[in-house]
Amino acid sequence: MRHYFALFILGLILAFSSCRTDFDTVASTGDLKFSQDTVYLDTVFKNIGSSTYQVKVYNRSKNDISIPIIQLKKGLNSKYRMTVDGMTGNNGKIFNNVTLLAKDSLYIFVETTADITDANPADFLYTDEIQFDSGVNLQQVALVTLIQDAVFLYPKQNPDGTKEKIKIDGKDVDGFYLDENDAVNGNELIFTKQKPYVIYGYAGVPENKTVTFEAGARVHFHANSGLYVDKKASLQISGTKSTTENLENEVIFEGDRLESLYADIPGQWNSVILADGSTNHSINHLTLKNAVTGLSFKNQDATTVSIKNTQIYNCVEYGILAQNARIAGENIVINYTGVASLSCVYGGNYSFTHCTFNNNWQNSTHFAVNLSNTLAGATPETNPLTQATFNNCIIYGSNTNEFNLNKSTAVPFVYQLNNCLLKFNSSTTNPDYQFKTDAVHYNQIILNENPKFYNVSQNKFNIDKTSSAFAKGNQAYIIPLDIIGATRTSPPDLGAYQSAIFPK
């Protein structure tokens, strides 16, 4: 009994010693330490909220202190807002009498939503500072945000309060049709490099109209947004060769979060959809990233889609999904896709030359290239694949098999790989994958040799002279310039890049 009583008394002592309800604090003396003295909140578009950033504040002294005030210098007018150890204070701007224990720390989380008119007109920076205490004890942490102006395109509000809709595959989705005589933006069918564009919902291209993206155009899609090219409408992407890593003449499609954290996150927006019956499409020097599906083509059997010098990265499903389409592709690079980098289904007619189809998505079911002449649920479910030719290409990735054929014998399935580096389990007995003995479908195949890309994780698919793809191409299929405009030699290298010194 005495043993249990002693434990009870000890428990009371510990409880009272560890559960103080008041603190003897001293005033802050201006000796706080910070995890950083300047917080850069990256670049944001006007009136789009930033990510949340963290500052940690340390009390290195042996005393519990009280900080009389933590506030934004611009006070209640500041475009920044913060929380201090979970507290919201006065509208997230001003906090009074904040206690910080000895040898302890507190967290401040800060974010902003600002307009271009709030920024300094000389450099478009919006700045403020977090102030700790005042007078001789004043300490501060600077806040800096670059505000970028843009053209915003979005569905209008209907009189009944609903959003404008357009039909895609028979379904109503939030969207609008681009207007060549818009009262605010002028001709919305021409995208220039003067300002970036931010699109909410699906931007539709009306029948019998052509949307043009000029060299240097930057297009940012909000979540669940995309571009839809209707029947009888056309897409013209007219990027040109760039001379710097800024890709100043490239047309770029990506999400609308500009912070570095979002640079390579897949699925930030939906897709570019070229509808059944759309026509006369040309894509040159496009960089597309972080979508669900990059380019989606449906029944483009009337005219051939030209795709040149194009890069597609980090898509949740497909880089290019082509359904009974006609595509002539040159110098294309695709990587990091959840299902397939290139998927040509329900037949069609395809030719790809000097392309790099890679897939390093982290699952065991993806492919770099998938070919099929069937489509579940279609009527009929099979459709002829009249041609699928790959010349001087690389088909590679992180899985054992990166090439897949889904073939019905009910209709034609015509394909051929010439002078390609391919990753596939060489021990297979499947007659469709006899790369060394089936001369009808495979010629000069390099099997399971590492192309030694410069940096796959950074989507840099340059090669040098140590690559198995070096000088293995066939001169008969050569495209004179590679994806960045370098001159190919004879014999050419496989893939979209001519070998050179690796980029810095």
- Cα distance between residue 235 and residue 215, in whole Å: 14
Range list of β-strands (E), 114-209: 125-132, 139-148, 151-153, 165-168, 171-177, 190-191, 197-199, 202-205
**383-396 mean pLDDT:** 97
pLDDT at 23: 52
pLDDT value of residue 504:
52
Q: What is the pLDDT of residue 502?
A: 57
The per-residue pLDDT for 428 is 87
Confidence at residue 301, expressed as pLDDT on a 0 to 100 scale: 63
Query: What spatial distance separates the first Cα and last Cα of the chain, rounded to whole Å?
Result: 76
pLDDT at 384 over 80: yes
Mean pLDDT of 469-494: 97
Residue 325: pLDDT band with limits 50, 70, 90: very high
pLDDT given at position 159: 83
User: What's the pLDDT at 500?
Assistant: 79
> What is the predicted pLDDT for the residue at 15?
47
What does the pLDDT look like over 87-102, one tens digit per residue?
A: 999 999 999 999 999 9
Taking 80 as the threshold, does the pLDDT of residue 374 lie above it? yes
Whole-number pLDDT of residue 6: 47
Please state the separation of Cα 268 from the chain's center in Å. 6
3 pLDDT exceeds 70? no
| β-strand partners of 190 | 212
Q: What is the pLDDT of residues 396-416, one digit of tens each?
A: 999 999 999 999 999 999 999
CATH of domain 26-148: 2.60.40.10
At residue 157 the predicted structure's pLDDT band, cuts being 50, 70 and 90, is confident
Q: What is the pLDDT of residue 4?
A: 47
Which residues face 168 on adjacent strands?
171
Kindly state the percentage of the chain with pLDDT values over 70. Answer: 94
Model pLDDT, residue 20: 42
**pLDDT bracket for residue 123 (50, 70, 90):** confident
Least confident of 280-294, 324-338, 386-400, 424-438: 424-438
Name 300's Cβ contacts closer than 8 Å, sequence gap at least 6: 274, 278, 279, 281, 322, 324, 325, 326, 327, 348
In 3D space, the residue among 404, 473, 470 whose CA is nearest the CA of residue 445 turns out to be 473
| pTM for this prediction | 0.87
pLDDT computed for residue 19 by the predictor: 44
Q: Residue range 215-244: average pLDDT? A: 96
For residue 18, what pLDDT is reported? Answer: 42
Q: How far apart are CA 331 and CA 57, in angstroms?
A: 51
pLDDT grade, residue 427 (50/70/90)? confident
Res 160 pLDDT > 90: no
Is the pLDDT confidence value at 126 over 80? Answer: yes
Q: Are 459 and 483 in contact (CB under 8 A)?
A: no
3-state helix, strand, coil in the chain (%, to 5): 10, 45, 50
Interval 433-469: pLDDT, tens: 999 999 999 999 999 999 999 999 999 999 999 999 9
Instruction: Look up residue 458 and give its DSSP letter.
Output: G
Closest by Cα among 381, 437, 452, 446 to 411: 381
Q: What is the pLDDT of residues 32-53, one digit of tens each?
A: 999 999 999 888 998 889 999 9
Q: CA 277, CA 206: separation in Å to the nearest integer?
A: 12
pLDDT band at 25 (very low <50, low <70, confident <90, very high): confident
Distance CA 359, CA 313 (A): 10
- Long-range CB pairs of 164-168, under 8 A, 24+ apart, other chains included: 164/201, 166/202, 166/204, 166/228, 168/202, 168/228, 168/273, 168/275
